[in-house]
């Protein structure tokens, strides 16, 4: 026959096992989310700083990097496609038409 102390000990062991299981599930979920957002598809889009945009337009002499035409409106493109790489050497100013074509894969790189 099981005594009251045996029952309470089994209940406490069961409770501890459930708590440990929940902690492990939380840790696994947190690690999964961290790894998931490392890949480019899930990375948060980061925009170029204003000084990088200005220096890029000046460096390109106010001309589109692809068609070499002057424009009043600029779209800023990540050259390597990595949205979190905001170095000045990864920025190019494109006219909206060329940017749309590049984004859709209609231009040969």
pLDDT in tens, 66-103: 999 999 999 999 998 888 889 999 999 999 999 999 98
Q: Are 68 and 98 in contact (CB under 8 A)?
A: no
Whether residue 41 lies inside any domain: the answer is no
Global pTM? 0.59
Whether residue 108 lies inside any domain: the answer is no
Confidence band, pLDDT 50/70/90 cuts, at residue 2: low
Query: How many domains in the chain?
Result: 2
Same domain, 27 and 68: no
Residue 62 backbone phi and psi in degrees, to 5: 60, 35
Same domain, 30 and 65: no
3-state secondary structure of 103: helix
Residue listed under structure tokens 């390597």:
80
Residue 17's domain spans which residues? 1-36
The whole-angstrom separation of Cα 103 and Cα 5 is: 69
Whether residue 66 lies inside any domain: the answer is yes
């Amino acid at each position: 026959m099981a005594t009251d102390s045996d029952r309470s000990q089994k209940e406490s062991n069961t409770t501890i096992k459930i708590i440990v299981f929940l902690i492990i599930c939380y840790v696994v979920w947190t690690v999964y989310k961290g790894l998931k957002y490392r890949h480019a598809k899930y990375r948060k889009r980061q925009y170029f700083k204003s000084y990088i945009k200005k220096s890029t337009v000046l460096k390109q002499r106010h001309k589109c990097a692809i068609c070499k035409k002057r424009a009043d409106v600029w779209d800023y493109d990540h050259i390597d496609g990595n949205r979190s790489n905001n170095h000045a050497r990864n920025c190019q100013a494109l006219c909206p038409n060329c940017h749309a074509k590049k984004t859709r894969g209609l231009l040969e790189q």
